[in-house]
Structure 1
C-alpha cells in the first residue's frame, strides 16, 4: 500500500493561517445586526392617529375585576356604520382582535381601509343597509380608548404600568356602558373573532338579555396553555428590551422597538399556517445571488421582519402586555363556578367557526365550545369548520367562508338548529367534561 505523505512545508504558520482566516472580515460581518444598534427607536404617535372615531366618556370610577383595580374614568373610542332604526333593534356589535382599532371600515372621516373592510357595507357580511354596526377600540388599547398610554387624570401622567390588570369581562362592561349611552337595550348580534370571539361569548354570558345572537370565530371558552405560552414569549420580548424601562418609556428618547418587533414576529408564527408559507415562500431566497449569512436570507425571514417592523410603529407595547394578559386570564367559567353554569346562560342562536389550519386557536377548541353549549341546553348552535390556508388570520381574509357564513347566520331566523358543517378533520378530541 502506497503511503500518503504530508508535506510539512505546505503547512502555514499560525500567523499566516490567522491572517488568511480573517482577511475577508469585512465581507463576513452582518450588517443587519450592526444596523440594530444604530436604529433610533422613536415612540410612535399612536395617540395622534386619526381614525375618525367618536368617543364616549364614563366619568365615574370604573372598577375592574382583578386586584381591586379601579380607573378614575374610562373613555371608549368607537365607530359606526349604517343607521340605527327607530326601534333600536338592528345593532350589531363587532368585536375585534388584540391589535384592532375601532376602524373596521373606511368612511368619509377616514378613507383608509379598515381591518374588516370587505366584510362591512351594503349587501356584505355585515349589511349596512340592514344593520347598525358598532366597533369599539377595547380598553387597554391605544387608539382612543383608555389604556396604559392614556393620561391618568389624578396624576396628570401616563398610566404606564400603574394601569390595572384588566379582563375580558372589563372590556365587555365598557362596551355595554357605550350601548347604554347609545340607548341600545338589546343587540341584534354580537360578532367577534379571536379576542373578539372571547368578547362576544362573554357579552352573551354576562348580558344574556341584551344579546340576540352570537358569532364566535376562531376563539375559545377558556385560554389553553399553548396560546398562553405564545403570548408569554411576546411579553418577555418586550419587557427584556432595555428600552422598556419598566413601562415608563413615554416621552423619553428610548422606546422598546426591538422587543415589540420581535413580539410581533413571534405572534405571526401563530397567525398564519405552514401550508400557506410552503405555497407562498417555499425555500425561496431574498436574493438568489447573495451568499449565506446570519442576516435574513430566506423570503420567510424577510416577511417576518417586515411584519414586525410594521407592528412596532403602530401598537403601544404596554397595550400588548395588558391585552394579551387579559386573553390569558379568560376562562368563562370562573365568575359562574362551572363552565356548564356559564354556558347555560347562553340560550340564543350561536354560530361557532373554526379553521383547520389555526395554530393559535385550533379548531378542536371551537368544536369543544359548540359541544359544551349544546350540553348546556342550547339547541340553536351551528358549528362550521373551514379548510383554509390562512390559519388564524382566515377571519380577516376569507370572504366566501367566513363572510358568507356570518351573513347567512345573522340574517336568518335560525330555524335550522344544531347544524354542523365541516371539512376533513384529522384531530379527534374527546368532548370536555364539565
Structure 2
C-alpha cells in the first residue's frame, strides 16, 4: 500500500500550479470543439432569425418527424387587432396554414388539427410540399385516423411560432424591426382565438366537425371547446391536461433558464440587422434546452431497450463529453434542433404551456385584461400603459388557495365542455403529461357519458410522451373510431 504524506501532496500541487507536465494527460472535449466550430461557422454568414428548413425524411423510422419546413403553406392575414389574455395586443397578425381533403358544400366536415410546441403547419405531405409531415401517417385518403376522403383537415402553425405565423421573429409594425422579447406574452386561449378567426374568415366555417390536438395541441383543443362550445362538434385531446402542473412547469423552467444563460441570446435581441449582420443565435443554449426536453419526451423502459448502459467504446477511457449511447442520442437531438427553431418562439410557447389553465378565475382575469387593453388601444394610450412596462416585483408567496378550491375553480371553468363529445387519450409511460392528468380531465367533466377515455398501458406503448407522434394503431385508431361513432 502506497502512503501519501503531506509533503508529497504539496509537491504535487506545486507541479500542477507551475504548469509542469501532468501526472495524467488532460482530457479531450470533442463536444466542446464541435460547438466552437459551429460558432465559428455562424460568424461567417448572416443567418435569418427564424426557423430553418430541414429534411424530415432523414429521421430514423423510430423517431418522430416534426415537419419543420418553410414552404407549401398559405397565409391568413388579419388586420384587426387581437387583444391578449395578459394585456398585450397584436395590431395585425398572420397564421400559416395547410389543408388536405375537400370542404363540403355545407362546410360541416372541417377538422382543425392543433400542433405541439415546435411543429409547423406541415402535418402531411402535399403537392405544394412533398416532404413528410409530422403527422404523415395519421392523415390521408382512407386513413383510419383522419380520412381526407371524409374530412377537410386544417393545420396551422401556432401564433408565436416561427414557421410562417406571427411570432417574436416577425416584424413589429410599429418600427418594422423584429419583435424579439417585445413580443407580448400569449395564452393557449389567445392562440385558439387566432385560429378561430382564421377558420371563420378564411373558410366561412361556422362549426368545426372536430378539434384535434396532442400535447400543447391537446391544450388548444380543450380551450377551443371552452371558448367556442357552439362552434365545434367533437373534441380530441391526447396527452394533455386541463391546467399545467408543477412538475411540467419545473422542467420547462429549467429548459428556459439554460437557454437564456447563453450569452448570445442577448435578452432576445439576437436577430441580425444592417448594423450587426453576423449576430450569432443562442445555438448552445437551444441545444442544451432541447436535450433536457427530450428527456421528458420518451420513457425510461424504451431507452433501456434501445440503449441500455452501453458506451461508444468500452475499451477506452471515459470522457465528460457524450460517451454512453443515450448521451449521444440526446446530443444529436439537441444539435439537430438548435438551428431549426427560433429560440424566442421556444421560450414564449414554453411559457404559454406553463400558463395554461381552464379555470373560471383565469378566464375572468383574462377577460378583464383584454377589455382594458382594448380600451387603452382605442384611446391611443396603449403603448404607454402596458402591464409589461410596470416594474416587475418578485415577492415571496405561499399558496393562497387549497387544492380543493383550485379544483372546484377548474371544474366550473370547464362547464362549457360539459355535454360535448370528447375523446381524452392518456399514456401510462408518459412522464411529461402523466396519465393521471388525463384522468383529471375526465373526472372534472363529471364522468359525462359523452366523454370517451382511452389509456394506453406499457404493453401498448413505451414511447412516453412521443406516443402521439408514433403510435398510429392505438392513438390514430382511437381518434378514427371516435370521429366516426
Specify if TM > 0.5: yes
Q: Is contact 1:374-1:381 (8 Å) kept?
A: no
Q: What RMSD in Å do the two structures reach over aligned CA positions?
A: 2.3
Structure 2 residue aligned with 1:236: 257
Q: Secondary structure at the match of 2:446?
A: helix
Indicate if the aligned counterparts of 2:52 and 2:340 stay in contact, CA closer than 8 A.
no
Q: Which residue of 2 aligns with 1:53?
A: 73
Per-residue deviation at 1:284? 1.4
Q: Which residue in the other structure is 1:389 paired with?
A: 462
- Given the alignment, which residue of 235, 245, 259 partners 1:214? 235
Quick one: distance in 2 between partners of 1:78 and 1:202?
19
Q: Find the counterpart in structure 1 of residue 411 from structure 2.
A: 340
Whole-angstrom CA distance in 2 between matches of 1:361 and 1:326: 15
- Secondary structure of 2:241's partner? coil
Query: Structure 1: any 5+ residue segments left out of the alignment?
Result: 413-434
1:139 aligns with 2:159: yes
After superposition, residues 106-255 of structure 1 pair within 5 angstroms as 106-124=125-143, 125-181=145-201, 182-251=203-272, 252-255=278-281
Q: Counterpart of 2:316? A: 290
Shift of residue 288, structure 1, vs aligned partner: 3.5
Separation of aligned partners in 2, 1:187 and 1:357: 31
Specify the alignment match of 1:363 in structure 2.
435
Q: Structure 2 CA distance, aligned partners of 1:186 and 1:225?
A: 35
Q: Does 1:80 align with 2:152?
A: no
Separation in 2, partners of 1:335, 1:364: 24
In 1: Cα distance, 2:30 partner to 2:446 partner: 57
Unaligned 5+ runs, structure 2: 54-69, 273-277, 365-407
> Residues 12 and 198 of structure 1: is their aligned pair in 2 closer, same or farther, counting only changes over 3 Å?
closer
Q: Report 1 or 2 for greater relative contact order, CA contacts < 8 Å, sequence distance ≥ 6.
A: 2
Q: Say how many residue pairs are matched.
A: 403
For the residue of structure 2 that corresponds to 1:325, the secondary structure is helix
The answer to whether 1:401 aligns with 2:474 is yes
CA-to-partner distance for each residue in 1:219-254, whole Å, 9 max, x for gaps?
A: 000000000001111111111100001100001422
Q: Give the Cα–Cα distance (whole angstroms) in 2 for the partners of residues 304 and 48 of structure 1.
A: 20
Mapping for residues 86-101 of structure 1, pairs under 5 Å: 86-101=105-120
- 8 Å contact from structure 2 (residues 111, 152) kept in 1: yes
CA distance in 2, matches of 1:374, 1:122: 36
Shift of residue 289, structure 1, vs aligned partner: 3.8
- The answer to whether the aligner puts 1:374 opposite 2:446 as a matched pair is yes
* CA distance in 2: counterparts of 1:61 and 1:263, whole angstroms: 33
Give the match for residue 56 of structure 2.
none
Q: Deviations over 1:334-356 (max 9, x none)?
A: 21692222222112111100000
SS, match of residue 233 in structure 2: coil
Q: Return the offset for 1:17.
A: 7.8
> How far is 1:275 from its partner?
0.3
Asked if the contact 2:51/2:339 (under 8 Å) is kept, the reply is: no
Helix, strand or coil: the match of 1:371?
helix
Q: Deviations over 1:200-224 (max 9, x none)?
A: 0000010000010111000000000
- Compute the TM-score of the two structures, normalised by the length of structure 2: 0.79
TM-score (normalizing by structure 1): 0.88
CA gap 1:350/1:358 in 2 versus in 1, 3 angstroms: same
CA separation of 1:61 and 1:284: change in aligned 2, threshold 3 A: same
Q: Distance in 2 between matches of 1:262 and 1:48?
A: 18
Deviations 1:38-96 (A, max 9, x none): 43273466456433100000012211110x21112010000001100001000000001
Q: Matched residues in 1 for 2:423 and 2:88: separation? A: 34
Matched residue, 1:29: 28
Q: Give the structure 2 partner of residue 352 of structure 1.
A: 424
